[in-house]
Structure 1
Amino acid sequence: MANDALHTDHELISQMAAGGENAFTQLYQRHWQKLYLTACKKIQDKDAAREIIHDIFLDLWKRRQELAVANLPAYLHKALHYRIINRIVSKKDLFFFEILESSGKSLYEADQALLAKDFTALIATWVEALPERRRQIFVRYYFQHLTTKEIAESLQISTKTVQNQLNISVQFLRARFGHLLSLLIMLEEISRQK
């Protein structure tokens, strides 16, 4: 059993594909906590975060024979991202009524909050459409708040490459959503305060 901890994710995925429940358990134990903490930060609901993580790993087990995953942490993070977006979209109407029930909220404020959620989902969809490396850089810089140097080191590329990829992303974002850029800045500030 002590040697099991030395297996890479890739080896455990192969074992899991062959029906290895122990390999699945090890993968779960390695990755659930980081996913859970990320989910809690994003949706601020511990029970919902647990449910999302459970669903992600249940899906991983169900699809174990057909999965071809090169980077399990990235795969799990992307799965979490999509589950959170789906949850936000499915809860949109409930969110609207919760805002209205809060004391002192106007219809205008409720509408603005919904627009902010919609814009966040739009940006998330746009980010997912970026080429893989550019997306990694964009997410790490704007959502994980890493420096260009930290990103360059983690991806083993030059700082200049990171800066160029960020510039390309921002130029495209401005061209597509220039009129909404002030809202993006506002959302960025709100996310940093949480």
Structure 2
Amino acid sequence: MADLNSLSDLQLFDLFKSGNVNAFGKIYDRHRTPLVVFVNSMVKDQDIAQDIVQEVFTVVFQRAQSLEINSSEHLANYLYRAVRFKVFNAIKHEQTKTNYLESIANFASESYNQADQDVHLKELAEIIEATVQSMQPRMREIFNLSRKQHLSHKEIAELLSLTENTVSTQIQRALFVLRNNKEIQNSLLLIALHLLQYKCIF
């Protein structure tokens, strides 16, 4: 077998997918430091930069078999896109988490009893989250990147090395699952009935 140092990133990645863990270690050694420098230039914190890079390599290690990498440049571009997304997501995480829950009830009336609204919306949010967690891993991942992280289909496709059509199909299937969930349907109906009942009083 050729010396790992003489192999390109693509050759190393293919070798790793064939079961050679040392090949992945060589990819890690080549890219870790420049990636940490890149991330640190954005977050201005060496420890956070190292954590983000480590998380990305962990994900690549776990998803290697499903990643469609066709060149050494493609792999490098994937790594830099991945850490950049991690940085952006870390920055807006708390805000997006709140917005995600609030967006579930955009249709609700301002005059709807706030106490009842909070209870029912909390229940609905919990049902939706449980349904999302029960989805197939790839579908759940794509759906969360779209709805929670607000990434476009193109951005998700680039991040996961998928086609935009695959991303679109997975999101549509996820929405189908949510729309056809009886608990979600019943919860939405309950909110609507309370809203109508409250308005009829006046």
**TM-score, structure 2 length as denominator?**
0.44
**TM-score, structure 1 length as denominator?**
0.46
**Higher relative contact order, chain-length normalized (CA < 8 Å, sep 6+):** 2
